[in-house]
A and B are shown apart, each in its own frame.
Chain A
Amino acid sequence: MCLTLCVCVCVCEIVIVFCARSVSQVPVAEGKSVQQTVEMLNRKLEQLGAVKQGNFCVDCETYHAGAIGSPGQPPKFLYVMHNSEAPLSCFALFENGPCLVADPNFDVLMIKLKSYFQNAKSNKVESRGARYQYCDFLVKVGTATIASSARGITVEVEYCPCVTANDCWNLLMEFMQSFLPSHIPGVPSMFGVKTDGVYSPSDTMAQYLELFSKLRKQQAATGSGMR
């Protein structure tokens, strides 16, 4: 589960989403699709000098705890996520709760727990795209899909040599400004909460979860608007 080798086990990451629908945030011309925006971002990165190094995939499955807890309480949601950057790990999180890093057998355990935790398959969110390396930065631009329909764009920027989140936020912002359209969001909420400041892969997954939850809520809102 835990990373390997030597030295700078990287990681100081941010994840931001550009949702093609959020007109105020992204200067996307009318008529541009999610795919076109992703291609535009990829081209900008390549012009900058970034080198494409394969693809990445982050996915998130939702389980809801139907049969547990007292009747008055709202149902608890357990999210099980995978990240191609950590292929032999499985991340399990509760929103604003503890995060567990486990090996892939955790998925098998969830199958055993199926009478207590139901897998809401239609809620599965995935982000897939290209992985670029530019000097000390790793950039992943992905198309986020819910049930095979594209719902937004995720951009993950990683500054590899640093593990202290608060030390390199400014550098990350400056780098992002070089290839992203105007709006850069504020510091991710968890940076303020961290007491020791050391970043870990579960922080990345928590950021993706926040993003995916936002996309799901937007999808639910649009769905009801169309009726």
Chain B
Amino acid sequence: MEAPPVAVMPVTGGSIHMMEYLLQGSVLDQALESLLHRLRGLCDNMEPESFVDHEMVFLLKGQQGSPFILRARHSLDRPAAPWHLRYLGQPEVGDKSRHALVRNCVDVSASHSLHDFLLEMGFRMDHEFVAKGHIFRKGALKVVVFKLFRILLPGNTENTEPLSLSNLVELSVLAPAGQDTVSDDMRNFAEQLKPLVHLDKIDPKRLM
């Protein structure tokens, strides 16, 4: 057993300034195959990956007005994979001409004790859902096409029903803050998906 000879220091901290650039759209079930076909052509040459994920959204209510939201996600078809915890900040209100929604994003991979740990921290689960779909990649761009399923009995991921007759399409890039050329690349890619799907900057606040 070879041990590392050099003094290894623990790595503390990560990157606090990662931003998620996001464009969203949707397609009806009938148009799904055509979209997947076009994405296979446009994206990096690799087998498109399909996934079945279970996501739980947790809230922490403090003394401040709005609660702190964390999203915990794990794979149902690859149960050994680590859980994924995600924090998404408020969308940046900046340049109106920017083509994508920009928000601060912190991604943490975690062990399977994440659910119990979040409850111990004081978080409470607000809602959960199952997402089934495909993921494509083109360089740093990530395209995810998936269908949302409502969970009928809390905690039971076998018993689900589709939320709608559509599939959600998300085009996203994770990049350090300040790289605004990213949204131009995203817009150019989104152009190639028209008229199958129109990807837009959708402000979550306007939906509430």
Interface stretch of the complex, out of B4-12, B34-42, B44-52, B182-190: B4-12
Q: Mark A55-76, 1 if CB is under 8 A from B, else 0.
A: 1111100000101110000001
Q: Which residue of chain B is the closest to A117 with respect to CB atoms?
A: B121
Interface residues on chain A, number (Cβ under 8 Å): 52
Secondary structure class of chain B's binding surface, majority of residues? loop
In the assembled complex, the Cα of A112 lies from the Cα of B87 at a distance in Å of: 9
Say if the beta carbon of B159 comes within 8 Å of chain A: no
* A105 lies within 8 A of B107 (CB): yes
The one of B15, B82, B109, B120 in contact with A97, judged by C-beta atoms closer than 8 angstroms, is B120
Q: A108-B106, A115-B62, A116-B62 are in contact. Are A160 and B111 (CB under 8 A)?
A: no
Q: Is A109 an interface residue (CB 8 A)?
A: yes
Report B-chain residues with C-beta under 8 Å of the C-beta of A65.
121-122
Q: Is the Cβ of A53 less than 8 Å from the Cβ of B4?
A: yes
Q: How many A-B contacts if CB must be within 8 Å?
A: 124
Chief secondary structure at chain A's binding surface: mixed
Question: Is the Cβ of A160 less than 8 Å from the Cβ of B10?
Answer: no
On chain B, the number of residues with a Cβ less than 8 Å from chain A's Cβ atoms is 37
Compute how far the CA of A94 lies from the CA of B113 in the bound complex, rounded to whole angstroms.
Answer: 12
Q: Quick one: which of A83-98 are within 8 Å of B by CB?
A: 83-88, 90, 92, 94, 97-98
Chain A residues near B193 (CB, 8 Å)? none
Closest to A94 in B: B120
B108 touches A106 (CB 8 A): yes
- B5 contacts across to A, CB distance below 8 A: 53-54
Question: In the bound complex, do residue A69 and residue B117 qualify as a contact, i.e. CB atoms below 8 Å apart?
Answer: no
Q: CA A131 – CA B106 in complex, angstroms? A: 34
Q: CB-CB < 8 A to B153: which residues of A?
A: none
Given A54-B6, A99-B117, A104-B12, 11 additional A-B pairs, CB 8 A? A54-B7, A82-B10, A94-B120, A97-B120, A101-B113, A102-B109, A105-B109, A108-B108, A112-B87, A113-B68, A202-B111
Those 7 A-B pairs whose CB atoms lie nearest each other, nearest first:
A82-B10, A105-B14, A101-B111, A68-B122, A55-B7, A100-B117, A102-B110
